[in-house]
Chain A
Amino acid sequence: MNILVSLKQTFDTEAKIAISGGKIDATGVNLVINPYDEFAVEEALKLREKFGGEVTIISIGGDKVETSVRTALAMGADKGVIVNDPALEGADECVIAEVLAKAIAQQPYDLVLSGRIAVDDGSSQVAVRTADVLNIPSVSSILKLEIEGDVATVTREIDGGTEELEVKMPALFTAQKGLNEPRYPTMPGIMKAKKKEVKTVTLADLGISDAAPKMNAPKYSLPSPRKAGTILSGMEAPDAARELAKLLHEEAKVI
C-alpha cells in the first residue's frame, strides 16, 4: 500500500506572534511538524507495518521545511518530496491544493493522509480541496481507520458524536486527535533519515504556470489587550461566590 502524507511545517504552538512589515514574523520561531500531521504520519507508518508498501511525505515550503520532512523520515517514512518555489509566496489554499494534487498525482498511491487542521493559519481547507482536485473521496477528522481490500472503514468526529463511513479507495482522510499516539524518532531512525531520498521540485517541474490566488493578501493584526479583570481574592468562599454571581448578573448581564 502506497501512502502519501501531506505535511505542513508550522510554528511551535508556544511561539509568540509578532508582525513585521505587514507579515507574520518568523524570526527566531521554533518550527515543528503541524501536530495534527504527526497523527497522519503515525497512521501511515502503522498501515505500512500491516500491509507493506511505501510512505511518502509531501510538503510545500522554503528551505527550512526539510528539517520537518527529515523528522517524519526519522519516524520511519520512506522518502520525501518538497515543492519549493518562490512563486508560492502568498499562495492561497486554492493554489496550494492544485500544487499538492499535482505533486501527489506524480506517484502511485492508495491513500492520502493529512492533519485535520494546521495550527498556524487554522484554515482547515487544503487537504479537502486537494482531494477534490484529485477527484477522490475524502473524510475529515477521523478517529479510526480500518482497511480491507479497497474499502476503508473510518470513524469520523461529528458535532455531538461520531459517524462511521465506508469509503472506496483511493481516498484522502484528515486525522483528528485520538486516531493514534505518534511515535518519537529514535536515534537509529534519525541516522537513517539522513540518507533517505528527499526530492525538491519546482512549479515548472509539476507543469504549473499559473499560481494566482483567489484571495487578496491578508491584513494581519494582533489582538487588543484585554482590560484587567475583577479578580476576587482573600474573601471567604460564600462571600466570593455571592459577589461573583452578583457581578455576572448585574454588571456583565450574562446570568
Chain B
Amino acid sequence: MAKGIWIIVEQSKLEIRKVSLELISQGRILADKTGEPLVAVILGKGIAGLADKVAAYGADKVILIEDDKLENYTTGAYTSALNKVIRKEEPQAVLLGNTAIGKDLAPRLAQRLGVGMASDCVGMETDDASFLTFRRPIYGGKAFAEVSANARPVLATIRPNTFPVGAADESKKAEVVTETAEISADDLRAIVKDIAIAVSERPELIEANVIISGGRGMKGPENYKILEDCADVLGAAVGASRAAVDAGWIEQKFQVGQTGKTVSPTLYIACGISGAIQHLAGMGSSKVIVAINKDPEANIFTLADYGIVGDLFDIVPLLTEEFKKLQ
C-alpha cells in the first residue's frame, strides 16, 4: 500500500527554507513516477499558515505537528515527534535537507526507527528494487557512492541546491492533518538557551545560488570589501578558503572546504584560491566554477569552467562593474 514520500519541511520563524521547497519540487517528480503520494511534514508552533505554501509546490498532503515544545529545534523533541508519526503512517522514504538541523535529526531518527540513511546526497532516482537510489560524494568528492536501502522507510538528507525549486501554483490544495507530539522529559534533556543568528543581507552560504570566495591571495581582511561589493551586485554570499580563515582575515563560519561548509551553488567564483584538494571537497559540486588567480599553474584552474589569469585586485572591481551592467 502506497504510504508516500515524505519531506520534512524546515522552517525558521515561520519562513520555509529554500532547500525544503527544492525537496518538495523534486519529491513531486518522484511521486508522479512511483504513484506514491507526496507528504510534507511541518513541525513547530503556529505553523498552520504554512500548509498552503507547501501545497502550492506540489504536496498532496500536509502533516502539521504543532506543539509549544517544538518552537525551537531540539534533537530529542523533534526525533520523538517524528518517530511517532512515521511509525503510524509507514512512509516509503523520508527526505530532509542536509542542513544543520537535517544532519542532526536524520541520523537520530533513523536509529530510532532502526533503518538506513543516505547522507548529503547530490542525486536521487527511483528504483524498482529498492524504491530510491541515492548518489553521494565520498572522500571529499574524490569518489561517489550509489546507495539504497533494504528496509523502509529509507531516510536521506539532500545537499541544498541539488534540485531546482519548481513553480508555485496557489490554486493547488492539499489535505491537511494535524498530529500531536508526545514529548517526554527524556526528550528535553538538551534545552536551547539562546540562538544567535548573524544579521546579514546576504544569503546563507549553503543555500546561496552564487558564492564569491577569497583565499590567501586576498592578502588581508580589509580586502574582502571588494568581494562583498561584487557579492551585493550578484545577490551572492561571500566565502573563504581555509588559508584566509587560519590567517584570521575572516570568520570560520565563512570557510568552504573539507573542514568548513559544503556548498553547491550555480556559480562559484574563487578569487586568489589555489585550489587545494580540501577546498575542492567543499565546492566541487558547484555547477559553474570561475577562478581568478595570478598563478597560471594554480590547481583551481584544472577544475574551473572559466578563469582569468590575473591580479584579483584589478579584475574583481572591473567584473563587479560588468555584472552591474548585466543586472
A residues with CB within 8 A of B: 11, 13-17, 19, 24, 35-36, 92-94, 97, 119-126, 128-129, 131-133, 135-141, 153, 156-168, 171, 177-178, 213-216, 218-223, 226, 229-235, 237-238, 240-242, 244-245, 247-249, 252, 254-255
Contacts of A178 in B (CB 8 A): 252
Residue contact B306 to A157, C-beta cutoff 8 Å: no
| A143–chain B nearest beta-carbon distance, Å | 9
A128-B107, A171-B189 given; A229·B204 CB < 8 A: no
Contact of A255 among B267, B287, B303, B307 (CB under 8 A): B267
- CB contacts under 8 Å to A, within B266-295, are 266-267, 277-278, 281, 284, 287-291
Residue contact A94 to B191, C-beta cutoff 8 Å: no
Contact of A233 among B197, B206, B296 (CB under 8 A): B296
Contacts of A92 in B (CB 8 A): 116
Dominant SS among interface residues on chain B = mixed
Residue contact A137 to B306, C-beta cutoff 8 Å: no
Contact of A139 among B75, B146, B278, B325 (CB under 8 A): B75
Contact string against A for B residues 292-320, beta-carbon threshold 8 Å, 1 for contact and 0 otherwise: 00001000011111111111001100110
Dominant SS among interface residues on chain A = mixed
10 shortest interchain CB distances as A-B pairs: A245-B322, A214-B116, A241-B318, A233-B309, A125-B107, A161-B197, A129-B111, A215-B116, A218-B145, A137-B189
Query: Can you list 21 A-B contacts (CB < 8 A)?
Result: A93-B116, A94-B117, A120-B139, A122-B137, A122-B139, A132-B79, A140-B104, A141-B100, A159-B100, A167-B189, A213-B116, A214-B115, A216-B130, A216-B150, A219-B145, A219-B147, A223-B141, A223-B284, A237-B311, A238-B318, A245-B326
Cβ of B168 within 8 Å of any chain A Cβ, yes or no, is: no
**Residue of B whose beta carbon sits closest to that of A238:** B318
A139-B75, A237-B310, A254-B288 given; A245·B193 CB < 8 A: no
Contacts of A247 in B (CB 8 A): 306
Told that A229-B307, A255-B267 touch, could you supply 13 new A-B pairs with CB distance under 8 A?
A17-B143, A94-B114, A94-B115, A139-B190, A140-B75, A141-B104, A159-B204, A161-B196, A163-B196, A220-B145, A223-B284, A230-B306, A231-B291
Which of B189, B303, B315 has its CB near the most chain A CB atoms (within 10 A)?
B189
The total number of A-B Cβ pairs within 8 Å is: 271
A137-B76, A164-B193, A166-B191 given; A214·B151 CB < 8 A: yes
B residues with CB within 8 A of A: 74-76, 79, 99-101, 103-104, 106-108, 110-112, 114-120, 130, 136-151, 186, 189-198, 200, 204, 206-207, 210, 234, 252-253, 255, 258-260, 266-267, 277-278, 281, 284, 287-291, 296, 301-311, 314-315, 318-319, 321-323, 325-326
A159–B44 Cα distance when bound, in Å, is 18
Residue contact B190 to A129, C-beta cutoff 8 Å: no
A175–B107 Cα distance when bound, in Å, is 16
| B322–chain A nearest beta-carbon distance, Å | 4
Residue contact B104 to A128, C-beta cutoff 8 Å: yes
| B298–chain A nearest beta-carbon distance, Å | 10
Contact of A241 among B79, B277, B319 (CB under 8 A): B319
Contacts of B258 in A (CB 8 A): 13, 35, 119
**Residue of B whose beta carbon sits closest to that of A143:** B252
Residue contact A226 to B145, C-beta cutoff 8 Å: no
Residue contact B145 to A244, C-beta cutoff 8 Å: no
Contacts of B197 in A (CB 8 A): 158, 160-161
**Residue of B whose beta carbon sits closest to that of A129:** B111
